[in-house]
């Protein structure tokens, strides 16, 4: 949903979004309905503040044991969309403040809410995807799931590619 800045009220315009047409189905599997609430407030002609909340559940694959698991996404949104004048786009040295990190610079004064929600969803995903903090993963030798119990591999056995060189040294 694209909203021109001029259509946003100075005291705020609220959007309750349950339609998941923006959801990146090609990258993620959605396990629960999407619920998003966004409040857009026009601060100036070229500046809009977005505050809101996004909730859903997605299916991820554990990085250690490779099993799929559900992750509940419950994140708040606090952004500033800004469409600066032409002077801003000239090449210059810029020092960023902490507020600048939450500012999205746009070429035209239109808030693309689908894009904002998609970006916030990706930012809410964990860097290391684990089904549980104590996940033991897979055995590096036989591939058995160590969460189910110990595998039958000999722990003293050295499967290093350099083990052959150690035998030559003797």
Query: Distances in Å between the alpha carbon of 45 and those of 10, 17, 67, 91?
Result: 10, 25, 49, 23
pLDDT in tens, 110-121: 889 999 999 999
77 and 41 within one domain: yes
114 and 148 within one domain: no
Which residue's entry shows tokens 């606090």?
78
147 and 126 within one domain: no
38 and 90 within one domain: yes
- The pair phi, psi for residue 11, each rounded to 5°, is -90, -5
The pLDDT value recorded for residue 39 is 94
63 and 28 within one domain: yes
Closest by Cα among 67, 66, 55 to 18: 55
Domain total for the chain? 2
- Say whether pTM exceeds 0.85: no
140 and 130 within one domain: no
107 and 119 within one domain: yes
143 and 104 within one domain: no
Q: Lowest-confidence range among 3-7, 47-51, 132-136, 157-161?
A: 157-161
Domain of 115, in residue numbers: 2-134
110 and 143 within one domain: no
Give mean pLDDT, residues 14-26.
92
């Amino acid at each position: 949903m694209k909203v021109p800045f001029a259509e946003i009220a100075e005291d705020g315009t609220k959007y309750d979004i349950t339609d998941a047409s923006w959801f990146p189905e090609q990258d993620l599997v959605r396990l629960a309905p999407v619920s998003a609430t966004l409040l857009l407030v026009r601060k100036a002609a070229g500046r809009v503040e977005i505050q809101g909340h996004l909730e859903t559940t997605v299916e991820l694959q554990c990085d250690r044991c490779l099993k799929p698991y559900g992750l509940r996404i419950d994140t708040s949104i606090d952004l500033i969309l800004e469409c600066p004048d032409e002077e801003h786009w000239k090449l210059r040295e810029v020092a960023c403040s902490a507020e600048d990190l939450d500012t999205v610079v746009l070429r035209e004064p239109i808030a693309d809410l689908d894009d904002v929600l998609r970006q916030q969803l990706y930012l809410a995903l964990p860097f290391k995807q684990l089904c549980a903090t104590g996940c033991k993963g897979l055995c590096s030798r036989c591939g058995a799931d160590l969460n189910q119990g110990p595998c039958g591999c000999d722990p003293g056995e050295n499967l290093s590619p350099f083990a052959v060189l150690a035998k030559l040294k003797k």
